[in-house]
Amino acid sequence: MRDSQFGVGVVGYGYWGPNLVRNFAANPGARVVAVADLDPARLANCARFNPGVTTTNRYDDLLNDPDIEAIAVATPVHSHYDLALAALEAGKHVLVEKPMAPTADLARRLIDEADRRGLMLMVDHTFLYTPAVRKISELVRKGDLGDVYYYDSTRVSLGLFQSDVSVLWDLAVHDLSIIDHIIEEEPVAVSATGCRHVAGSPENMAHITLFFDSPCVAHVNVNWLSPVKVRQTFIGGSKKMIVYDDMQPTEKIKVYDKGITVDGSQEKAHQLRIGYRAGDMWAPHVPAKEALETEVEHFIDCVRNGAQPLCDGLSGLRVIEVLEAASRSVAEQGKPVSLRRPARLRARATA
Amino acid sequence: MRDSQFGVGVVGYGYWGPNLVRNFAANPGARVVAVADLDPARLANCARFNPGVTTTNRYDDLLNDPDIEAIAVATPVHSHYDLALAALEAGKHVLVEKPMAPTADLARRLIDEADRRGLMLMVDHTFLYTPAVRKISELVRKGDLGDVYYYDSTRVSLGLFQSDVSVLWDLAVHDLSIIDHIIEEEPVAVSATGCRHVAGSPENMAHITLFFDSPCVAHVNVNWLSPVKVRQTFIGGSKKMIVYDDMQPTEKIKVYDKGITVDGSQEKAHQLRIGYRAGDMWAPHVPAKEALETEVEHFIDCVRNGAQPLCDGLSGLRVIEVLEAASRSVAEQGKPVSLRRPARLRARATA
Amino acid sequence: MRDSQFGVGVVGYGYWGPNLVRNFAANPGARVVAVADLDPARLANCARFNPGVTTTNRYDDLLNDPDIEAIAVATPVHSHYDLALAALEAGKHVLVEKPMAPTADLARRLIDEADRRGLMLMVDHTFLYTPAVRKISELVRKGDLGDVYYYDSTRVSLGLFQSDVSVLWDLAVHDLSIIDHIIEEEPVAVSATGCRHVAGSPENMAHITLFFDSPCVAHVNVNWLSPVKVRQTFIGGSKKMIVYDDMQPTEKIKVYDKGITVDGSQEKAHQLRIGYRAGDMWAPHVPAKEALETEVEHFIDCVRNGAQPLCDGLSGLRVIEVLEAASRSVAEQGKPVSLRRPARLRARATA
Amino acid sequence: MRDSQFGVGVVGYGYWGPNLVRNFAANPGARVVAVADLDPARLANCARFNPGVTTTNRYDDLLNDPDIEAIAVATPVHSHYDLALAALEAGKHVLVEKPMAPTADLARRLIDEADRRGLMLMVDHTFLYTPAVRKISELVRKGDLGDVYYYDSTRVSLGLFQSDVSVLWDLAVHDLSIIDHIIEEEPVAVSATGCRHVAGSPENMAHITLFFDSPCVAHVNVNWLSPVKVRQTFIGGSKKMIVYDDMQPTEKIKVYDKGITVDGSQEKAHQLRIGYRAGDMWAPHVPAKEALETEVEHFIDCVRNGAQPLCDGLSGLRVIEVLEAASRSVAEQGKPVSLRRPARLRARATA
């Protein structure tokens, strides 16, 4: 059976579910077997545009279907844990929306369950599959930037105020997964500040600093109440620096051959020791492939061929740990919170 | 004598001194009497382009000159306190470069000395005199923005690494003086993080959050190691929001009629309570007058006619207090530092 | 029957046809009865996503269907004339893609046929229904710009080289329809230059100047071989000026309160007579409604309620006349070609 | 004497003269001997800032001074010819502002006079000495762009309306000198259109097309009545394309590895023959040296060491010929005007 098409079930057909269905359906090696949702209108809509797909309001139908090898969970956050756990217990591989669980403890339980059963548990950090982030990752890993000095991101817009999660869990989660992916070092502490401008709502604006053992620092600025949409990240290195502007239709990544040079001799006076370098800028062509298409290919490749997942359960857990620590720091006006982790969490993909 | 021209002495003819001389010389009510500097080459340069100005390497010549009513101090930071104090003791009004002193304690002593002698002590926070900041200040004071929700500024470039002061004292000082001017409320705490990428040098990158009693928050991002120069400030209000981009040759200020509306009824579900509003954008024409020209006019007006100074000693002190607190917070990875001040420091200009 | 739903047939289901079907289907007052195309795969695709729509490879099925009140023609240019004529002869109203015919003569025959039968003939100049162009049109008609001095447009990109029509008929046609709509005056002559960089292909780059009796001038720059995509139009007026940048996600239209003032007195020397004015910039909020949705509503309103069409056959003809004249001018390196038209063509919508 | 400093006289101390004086004075090999102007206030101003320079209101003083080897003419256009001719007749080398004469005939006489006397006659086309244009020229000459397909420039702003020359002679002259320099081919015809929006004033807006024997085409859009300032040039080549934006503080030049590929086989259908290529973008670092500093060095090098001038009299004449032809074409609404030139005018610098 494993040589046949990859059978997928999708639970949740709201905002993101249709994208999952479309991309699994378009993948020549996969087939969407069934879609579950509690809302009859959504199911009808799904049925209309996907004639061959079974629709159901019973999640058990997916769990019990032997043609379904993997389940994609695209429901609201609070149900991620229960649905993903049930899928694993039914022997299905899982692709779950981020954040994979509302707490690090629950995330760890999912990881343990998947490990014990030898199943794939992947978190849908879609940004890691964008051509831009893949190119940045490639440049960093090749050493083109030298030592990474900082990652400084601004992700603000007039966004939808969420009622149950703060802007940290809604927007900063994207940067935290990118940081986890491209910076080859674990953060050791986090300081974050935030603010709520609507009484009774969670923080709609926050700033996070991640500390590392090296002098590298990461900072994320997120805001649901900005007059213009900004998606801009500066990445500084000892050799080169990147500006990544996701709002640009093309030339999203600009690589600057700029920086400082430090004269090794400590004898010399300070000002003489530091030199400034201004060279060319280069914007590598980045193809326009949809991130989710790549992600679906990768998920199937991981399950079928044992490829190393780019965002496995551990990476999803690391992001949640930072979110939890940042939320604690916000509650204490920036007081730093330690992030020292046991060694087992540090293993990561190197793709 | 008070009806005659305003006699000015300038000490320090390095980077900024020539600008002070030029602007005082161009003011029809003022006259530059003498310039003091220790460097003969600078004095020769000054003499060449300013034939009527006495040049001297003895500061005492300025202090003892009865034609000099006020002294502008444009020397390196470490000498500000001594030179300003001597000028006050000699009965001269003082315009001193920012920061006016290396510590809040010394700044307080200057203020006391000026108060005791009934002399003007003004700090050269030039940004407050730019047409853009004056327009923003006018819009905020008129209530066009409603309640100010946040001030969020990015001031980064490939800048000159200083040997004795961190990027906070070099770049953040500009934003702190603007915040002090336009936000009609005192900060009560500060959390800041920073990083040094050259061993033995001060922090070259920092992020500061200022807390207020209201939900307003201010954040400043400064960096000497950025591949591109950014001078951009977002100011969010309950009615309107501003984007101020100082790198634009024109249209530096954009006012957005955008935001959220909150339904007063707490009964309703969260999502229904918050509405989104997207209206016009408006870029008021801002004339191109040099900030220092306006500042010099204002300084003379304050001394001669008793106008209320926009950046008196107290405002300079408030900025130094924030810098000191931020530096302490940086040393403890963002741990918040309280800024509760005695009431006497809260008086401010309302121009 | 006229009170019932508006029955529509669509011929051509290639690039644009699906958009027409989708928008007519979404209109509550209309119904897509049938779609004709010669390609079975396209018909199958249409049937899959539009279960209630009849598909056919015989155009006659549409012509003979009494439930079809109007036919939308979305086929290649060379067949527009024949298909539209047949529809009119069958008593159907017609919405035809631009250009409505390959020559002005054939366009005139379609207009005559529609007139004689009292049928609506509308040309699908979609840009006229974009919120941005409607806002510009409103500002011009209200007199906000004063006298229109010029329209100067750049429409370039790395575009698909067409084999049978030049860049004039492919890209300039958009600007010519906008000019026809917003400038309340007829062009009297055209000068155009062009260039072909692929032997045997039509011009891939061209510049057109339209002359009017007034000092108003219109210029269009089109190019299939540009490294970046530009969609930018400057509109100068005696009172205000507009920059319309269609590549911006928001703030597509900026209205500048800038210009010159001319002192009436001819006695004075030249330089004294001209003054310069630099005021505010204003970007009116423009809603994000799809142009074709508005166009479909308008077409139905014209047919059912006798509304005045924004782009009737005469406006389509005027655009073709300019294209023909411009093509002749290109062949003679910019030699001007007269556009004097008989009065009957000058009638236009005033919406 | 020729080994000593290069003695220079400058006539005209209005807008541009002070820049010439400053740059010749700063050149270690040159000395400004005297400055002539009819306005006593300007002479006084010159004397104040240039203590060692003789000032005079008699041009003859410059002509008769044996220490003056070369004269720079920076007066209004109508006097260029007479002053430059007198300088040549007095045996002085000449650097003359553009346009060097009001007609091509007079320009030719200056060239002949200089040739006959073996003197240098250089025209001050300053743009050719900007680091950006020099980099573009280098890329074109190295063949990086392949065949140059087009040069398309927009040079518009709310500019000073001139009373005696049209926008062609004021703004287009810059592009025409750049085109003359970087396109290694002579234009054979010109078509231009223009418009005047102030009665009694020259054209304030114009569009020029230059034709070449090859399929290369050049187009220039100039306008004194634009709400925003644009200085943007697109240069298309068979291999690469450039966007040169002089309003950018950095990254003025962007080189795009984009374009089309044409399959040689004429047998294949059109669409199959043309391929599209989208590669990286590259912004070479361009140093920030003042153009006039380079130009002054070059002028001295040409006079003293026989270097080939970048913009000699012939290049100045070629630009004037195009301006004359374009002005004639404007008067006839774009009718093309031939530019076939005798062979002797075609010699050019190849630096």
Q: Which residues contact A287 (CB under 8 A, 6 or more apart)?
A: A131
Residues 168-207 on C with a CB inside 8 Å of D are: 189, 191-193, 195-198, 200-201, 205, 207
Q: Is A228 on the interface with C (CB under 8 A)?
A: yes
Is the pLDDT reported for residue C12 higher than 80? yes
**What is the pairing mode between strands D217-223 and D205-212?**
antiparallel
Interface test with D, best of C155, C164, C167, C195 (most D CBs within 10 A): C195
Check: CB of residue C73 under 8 Å from CB of residue C87. Answer: yes
Q: Which residue has the tokens 């974050």?
A: A192
D270/C150 touch (CB, cutoff 8 Å), yes or no = no
Stretch C100-114: mean pLDDT: 95
Stretch C171-178: mean pLDDT: 97
Q: And the tokens for C154?
A: 């750049």
The Cβ of residue D289 has, within 10 Å, a number of other Cβ atoms equal to: 13
The Cβ of residue A119 has, within 10 Å, a number of other Cβ atoms equal to: 18
Q: What is the pLDDT of residues B64-114, one digit of tens each?
A: 999 999 999 999 888 999 999 999 999 999 999 998 999 999 999 999 999
Separation between Cα atoms, residue C10 and residue C35, nearest integer Å: 5
Q: Is B103 on the interface with A (CB under 8 A)?
A: no
Among B260, A156, B257, B242, smallest CA distance to C284 is for: B257
Separation between Cα atoms, residue D45 and residue D18, nearest integer Å: 10
Q: What's phi and psi for C57, nearest 5 deg? A: -100, 10
Q: What is the pLDDT of residues D239-281, one digit of tens each?
A: 999 999 999 999 999 999 999 988 766 555 555 578 898 999 9
Confidence class for position A165, pLDDT limits 50, 70, 90: confident
Stretch A183-211: mean pLDDT: 95
Is the pLDDT reported for residue D349 higher than 90? no
pLDDT at C7: 97
Chain B residues touching D250 at Cβ < 8 A: 228
Peptide bond between residue D227 and the one before it cis (omega within 30 degrees of 0): no
Confidence class for position C165, pLDDT limits 50, 70, 90: confident
* Span between the terminal Cα atoms of chain D, in Å: 28
Q: Is A286 on the interface with D (CB under 8 A)?
A: no
C152/D221 touch (CB, cutoff 8 Å), yes or no = yes
Chain D residues touching B247 at Cβ < 8 A: 249
Q: And the tokens for C118?
A: 């009292």
Q: What is the pLDDT of residues A69-108, one digit of tens each?
A: 999 999 988 899 999 999 999 999 999 999 999 999 999 9
Nearest residue on chain B to A188, alpha-carbon basis: B333
Pick from D191, D258, D332: which is nearest to C193 by CB? Answer: D191
User: What's the gap between Cα B260 and its chain centre?
Assistant: 32
Among A246, A99, A219, smallest CA distance to A170 is for: A99
Report the mean per-residue pLDDT for chain D: 92
SS (H, E, C) B88-139: HHCCCEEEEECCCCCCHHHHHHHHHHHHHHCCCEEEECHHHHCHHHHHHHHH
Chain D residues touching B229 at Cβ < 8 A: 249
Q: Is C49 on the interface with A (CB under 8 A)?
A: yes
DSSP state of B309: P
A·D CB contacts under 8 A:
26
Q: And the tokens for B196?
A: 């040094």
Confidence class for position A200, pLDDT limits 50, 70, 90: confident
Report the mean per-residue pLDDT for chain A: 92
Interface test with B, best of C251, C253, C289 (most B CBs within 10 A): C251
Among C32, D234, B161, smallest CA distance to A261 is for: B161
Sign of CA dihedral C180, C185, C189, C194: negative
Partners for A (CB, 8 Å, 3+ pairs)? Answer: B, C, D
A163/B197 touch (CB, cutoff 8 Å), yes or no = no
Q: Is B286 on the interface with C (CB under 8 A)?
A: no
Separation between Cα atoms, residue A97 and residue C294, nearest integer Å: 37
Q: Which residues contact D75 (CB under 8 A, 6 or more apart)?
A: D11, D12, D14, D83, D97
Q: What is the pLDDT of residues C314-332, one digit of tens each?
A: 999 999 999 999 999 999 9
pLDDT at D58: 97
C285/B251 touch (CB, cutoff 8 Å), yes or no = no
pLDDT at C182: 96
DSSP state of C286: -
Separation between Cα atoms, residue C327 and residue C322, nearest integer Å: 8
Among A78, A90, A72, A83, smallest CA distance to A34 is for: A72
Separation between Cα atoms, residue A256 and residue A236, nearest integer Å: 9
Rg (CA), chain C: 22
Stretch D202-207: mean pLDDT: 97
The Cβ of residue C268 has, within 10 Å, a number of other Cβ atoms equal to: 11
Give the residues across from C218 on adjacent strands.
Answer: C151, C210
Separation between Cα atoms, residue A340 and residue A321, nearest integer Å: 10
Among D253, D329, B306, smallest CA distance to C333 is for: D329
Q: Which has more confidence, A131 or A3? A: A131
Check: CB of residue C188 under 8 Å from CB of residue C213. Answer: yes
pLDDT at A185: 92
Interface test with B, best of C281, C286, C289 (most B CBs within 10 A): C281
pLDDT at C228: 96
Is the pLDDT reported for residue A271 higher than 60? no
Residues 234-253 on A with a CB inside 8 Å of B are: 234, 236, 238, 241-243
Q: And the tokens for D59?
A: 């041009």
Check: CB of residue C149 under 8 Å from CB of residue D158. Answer: no
Confidence class for position D351, pLDDT limits 50, 70, 90: very low
B251/C281 touch (CB, cutoff 8 Å), yes or no = yes
Give the minimum alpha-carbon distance from D254 to chain C in angstroms, rounded to a whole number.
Answer: 10
Separation between Cα atoms, residue C55 and residue A205, nearest integer Å: 53
pLDDT at A264: 64
Q: Which residues contact A169 (CB under 8 A, 6 or more apart)?
A: A77, A99, A162, A323
Separation between Cα atoms, residue B103 and residue A126, nearest integer Å: 49
A283/D284 touch (CB, cutoff 8 Å), yes or no = no
Q: What is the pLDDT of residues B182-231, one digit of tens each?
A: 998 999 999 999 999 998 889 999 999 999 999 999 999 999 999 999 99
Q: What is the pLDDT of residues B293-310, one digit of tens each?
A: 999 999 999 999 989 899
In three-state secondary structure terms, A165 is coil
Nearest residue on chain A to B326, alpha-carbon basis: A334
Is the pLDDT reported for residue A346 higher than 60? no
Q: What is the pLDDT of residues D62-120, one digit of tens each?
A: 999 999 999 999 998 889 999 999 999 999 999 999 989 999 999 999 999 999 999 99
Give the residues across from D234 on adjacent strands.
Answer: D152, D243
**What is the pairing mode between strands B274-283 and C253-262?**
unpaired
Q: Which residues contact B82 (CB under 8 A, 6 or more apart)?
A: none
Q: And the tokens for C339?
A: 């556009």
Q: Where are the beta strands (DSSP E) in A48-172?
A: 54-56, 70-73, 93-97, 121-124, 148-158
Q: What is the pLDDT of residues D301-339, one digit of tens each?
A: 999 998 989 999 999 999 999 999 999 999 999 999 999
Stretch C90-112: mean pLDDT: 95
Q: Which has more confidence, D228 or B165? A: D228
Chain C residues touching B278 at Cβ < 8 A: 285
Q: What is the pLDDT of residues C23-62, one digit of tens each?
A: 999 999 999 999 999 999 999 999 987 878 999 999 999 9
What is the tally of helices (H) and strands (E) in chain B? 11, 15
Stretch A340-351: mean pLDDT: 52
Q: And the tokens for A273?
A: 């020791």
pLDDT at C271: 53
Separation between Cα atoms, residue A7 and residue D213, nearest integer Å: 63
pLDDT at A331: 97
The Cβ of residue A33 has, within 10 Å, a number of other Cβ atoms equal to: 24
In three-state secondary structure terms, D6 is strand
Q: Is D266 on the interface with B (CB under 8 A)?
A: no
The Cβ of residue A147 has, within 10 Å, a number of other Cβ atoms equal to: 13
Q: Is C260 on the interface with D (CB under 8 A)?
A: yes
pLDDT at A220: 98
C281/B285 touch (CB, cutoff 8 Å), yes or no = yes
Give the long-range contacts of residues B56-60, CB within 8 A, separation 24 or more: B59/B11, B59/B83, B59/B86
Give the minimum alpha-carbon distance from B29 to chain C in angstroms, rounded to a whole number.
Answer: 30
ipTM of the complex, rounded to two decimals: 0.92
Q: What percent of the residues of chain D are helix, what percent strand, and what percent coil, each to the nearest 5?
A: 35, 30, 35
Nearest residue on chain C to B285, alpha-carbon basis: C280
Give the minimum alpha-carbon distance from D251 to chain B in angstroms, rounded to a whole number.
Answer: 10
DSSP state of C312: B
Separation between Cα atoms, residue B82 and residue A324, nearest integer Å: 50
Q: Which structural domains are found in chain A, ordered by start?
A: 6-124 (3.40.50.720), 130-289+319-346 (3.30.360.10)
B279/C257 touch (CB, cutoff 8 Å), yes or no = no
Q: Is A278 on the interface with C (CB under 8 A)?
A: no
Q: Where are the beta strands (DSSP E) in chain B?
A: 6-11, 30-36, 54-56, 70-73, 93-97, 121-124, 148-158, 187-195, 205-212, 217-223, 225-237, 241-245, 253-262, 274-283, 337-338
In three-state secondary structure terms, C283 is strand
Give the minimum alpha-carbon distance from A213 to chain B in angstroms, rounded to a whole number.
Answer: 12
Nearest residue on chain B to D52, alpha-carbon basis: B48
Partners for C (CB, 8 Å, 3+ pairs)? Answer: A, B, D
Check: CB of residue B190 under 8 Å from CB of residue B322. Answer: yes
B285/C280 touch (CB, cutoff 8 Å), yes or no = yes
Q: And the tokens for D55?
A: 């000032």
Q: Is A25 on the interface with D (CB under 8 A)?
A: no
A284/D285 touch (CB, cutoff 8 Å), yes or no = no
Q: Is C345 on the interface with D (CB under 8 A)?
A: no
B209/A207 touch (CB, cutoff 8 Å), yes or no = yes
Check: CB of residue C334 under 8 Å from CB of residue C193. Answer: yes
Angle at D289 between CA D288 and CA D294, to 5 degrees: 155
User: What's the gap between Cα A192 and its chain centre?
Assistant: 19
Separation between Cα atoms, residue A156 and residue A153, nearest integer Å: 10
Question: Helix D173-182 vs helix D131-141: angle between axes, to the nearest 10 degrees?
Answer: 30
Q: What is the pLDDT of residues C253-311, one digit of tens each?
A: 999 999 998 876 655 555 557 889 899 999 999 998 999 999 999 999 999 998 989 99
% chain C with pLDDT above 90: 82
Lowest mean pLDDT among A229-238, C159-168, C268-277: C268-277
Is residue D282 classed exposed, middle or buried when 0-12, 13-18 and 19+ CB atoms within 10 A define those classes? middle
Give the minimum alpha-carbon distance from C113 to chain D in angstroms, rounded to a whole number.
Answer: 35
